[in-house]
Amino acid sequence: MRFCILCLCFALASCQIEIFEKPYVVSELYHLPCTVTTNTKEECEAKGCYYDDSENVPECYQKNIDECTEGTHNCDLHAFCVDLPYSFVCLCKAGFKGNGQSCIDIDECLHPLLNPCEPSAVCVNELGGYSCVE
């Protein structure tokens, strides 16, 4: 997965994120070494690691697990899962708040700044949003 994220957080409101492709793989930026004794390609791959000898110093490093694709993440139904090297992060979708493992709907009707309804309209809270009913 090739993602980068931009997170814009507003006071009182939820965290909105945009995900777009970036031109490099995050796991290429950060490597966890694999424990090897001989540092040969055979030993490295036998341990389920990546062997990279494209640089002068051969490197054996652990593979990233894409928890988001493999479904081993624990993100809430109303959260984005973003894969990171050797980890992942859960971010609540717009209209929800929480730590990503647990996201609850924001009741926009509780605060006038979150629901610019006309004074004559009634704010009705909805899952992930709200509506203004005349």
With a CB cutoff of 8 Å and minimum separation 6, the contacts of 23 are 2
**Which 3 state secondary structure label does DSSP give 10?**
coil
Task: For residue 133, count CB atoms less than 10 angstroms from its CB and return exposed for 0-12, middle for 13-18, buried for 19 or more.
Answer: exposed
Q: How many CA atoms lie within 13 A of 24 on its CB side?
A: 6
Q: How near is the Cβ of 24 to Ca ion at its closest, in Å? A: 15
Given a contact cutoff of 8 angstroms between Cβ atoms, the answer to whether 34 and 44 are in contact is yes
Single residue of 16, 39, 62, 125 touching Ca ion by CB under 5 A: 125
Q: Does 83 bind Ca ion (CB under 5 A)?
A: yes
The residue among 58 and 129 lying less far from Ca ion, judged by its C-beta, is 129
Q: Which stretch binds Ca ion (CB under 5 A): 15-23, 41-49, 74-82, 103-111?
A: 103-111
Q: How near is the Cβ of 26 to Ca ion at its closest, in Å? A: 8
Rule CB under 5 A: which of 5-64 touch Ca ion? 64
Beta bridge partners of 6: 18
The residue among 51 and 88 lying less far from Ca ion, judged by its C-beta, is 88
Residue numbers at the binding site for Ca ion (CB under 5 A) = 64, 83, 88, 105, 125
